[in-house]
Amino acid sequence: MLDPIPPPPQWLREWVRPWAERANLHSLPDHIHEVLFFYLFYQFIHSWASPYLSRKYFPQYYSRLPRRTKINWDMHVVSFVQSTAIVSVALWVMAADKERKAMIKDGWEEGHSRRMYGYTGACGLVQAMATGYFVYDLIVSTVYVRITGIGMVFHGISALTVYGFGFRPFLNFYSPTFILYELSSPFLNIHWFLDKVNMTGSKLQWYNGMLLLGAFFGARLVWGLWQSVVVYRDMWMAVRNNLSSESILLSPTIIDEKEGSISLSAAQVAQFANQINESRLPLWLPAAYVASNLVLNSLNVYWFGLMIKAVRKRFVEKPEVAKKTTEEKVAAVLEPDVVLDAAETLEKQQGYYEAGDGAELLNHKTETETEGVSS
């Protein structure tokens, strides 16, 4: 499937091509305008749209927040917009991209080469959207490192590196697959906002918390772990067979059986195969992906374990509660706090909760009380 967004102007493509080729990012010139657009779009939301709209529609909350919390608010607005938009585009690409679907039908033995080195413009669009956001994320995390923490800087570097390698192209097929991790992010951002507008413990936050836990488990653990196994198998077969990028041209599905020539859709998939100067798959490339993926999956399992721990903590009966009636025990189990505790645990551990917020709010309150006593 071709990229639904028109190509960049020729001057921009030629300007970026030399250094893109030196970095072996051969498909980047075709998507550089999208990377720049989405970076500027997210930066525009952070610097102008979020502050303006927040002051207009939430003046009683946003205007009273300390500076660092306002910055966090704006970052959460960007995260909410980005995660909602890119998940929608990824699901659409997975449903509509026929060339990508053909790579799935090729099976394990014949299709792994195309899934490794194959390319479609629609998957490139998903990569560009993600790369534009990670450029924004890295810049903002670096500028406000005292607020976000050094961990978010390294997160931005690793995420940008992984999606940047996709422009070789490498694992272009999997770009919409793994971006579905973001399915839980909109609910996590909503949970954060509800805290800031004094709706902590409300029914809305509870229902949103249930959706958050379900989305996190389904997208990051069930879907994410299974797709990790799938991509590991593709990379293992490529390494075992000394696979080169040009080998995707040898796939039986590349050749049109009736015409005896390369079809237009197949030509798109193999568009960049001959431009990669590699006789075989370099071991460091799958190793880097496996390492990054293992770290991310380990964090997801760890975070979800903490969420389960928060829920189980509610079920531990204390001695003085042991004599409660069955009805009272059932009521206690169904408390909204069960879900909210787990959601808050995820929020804190996943890096969406900045400890400085509470510290600055406390300092602000102390300063206000001191001024009141002095007067």
Per run of 10 residues, the mean pLDDT along the chain (length 375 residues) is: 92 94 91 97 97 95 92 95 97 93 71 81 95 94 85 79 87 92 92 90 88 91 92 83 54 46 58 62 82 82 80 56 52 60 70 47 47 44
According to the model, what pLDDT value does residue 256 have?
47
Q: Hey, which bits of 107-266 come out as E strands? A: none
Return the bridge partners of 255, or none: 262
Q: Give the closest residue to 180 by CA, choosing from 142, 144, 221, 148.
A: 221
Q: Is the dihedral of CA 92, 95, 101, 104 positive or negative?
A: positive
Q: Give the closest residue to 140 by CA, choosing from 78, 51, 53, 220.
A: 78
According to the model, what pLDDT value does residue 249 have?
47
According to the model, what pLDDT value does residue 123 have?
95
Tokens for 178, please give them: 């793994």
Q: Distances in Å between the alpha carbon of 19 and those of 29, 114, 147, 285, 346?
A: 10, 26, 34, 20, 40
Which residue reads 């025990």 in tokens? Answer: 329
According to the model, what pLDDT value does residue 118 have?
84
Which residue reads 């399992």 in tokens? Answer: 301
d(Cα 344, Cα 309) in Å, to the nearest integer?
Answer: 12
For the entire predicted model, the pTM comes to: 0.81
**Cβ within 8 Å of residue 238, ≥6 positions away:** 112, 113, 116, 281, 286
d(Cα 313, Cα 264) in Å, to the nearest integer?
Answer: 58
According to the model, what pLDDT value does residue 242 have?
64
Q: Distances in Å between the alpha carbon of 65 and those of 187, 201, 338, 349?
A: 22, 20, 28, 23
According to the model, what pLDDT value does residue 17 have?
93
According to the model, what pLDDT value does residue 334 have?
47
Helices and strands (DSSP H and E) totals, the chain: 19, 0
**Cβ within 8 Å of residue 347, ≥6 positions away:** 188, 191, 192, 353
Q: Distances in Å between the alpha carbon of 359 and those of 68, 79, 186, 196?
A: 10, 23, 26, 15
Tokens for 74, please give them: 């704006």
According to the model, what pLDDT value does residue 354 have?
42
Q: Distances in Å between the alpha carbon of 320 and those of 257, 316, 326, 330?
A: 77, 12, 15, 16
Tokens for 55, please give them: 């002051």
Q: Give the closest residue to 2 by CA, choosing from 36, 39, 38, 27.
A: 27
CB atoms under 10 Å from CB of 276, counted, come to 17
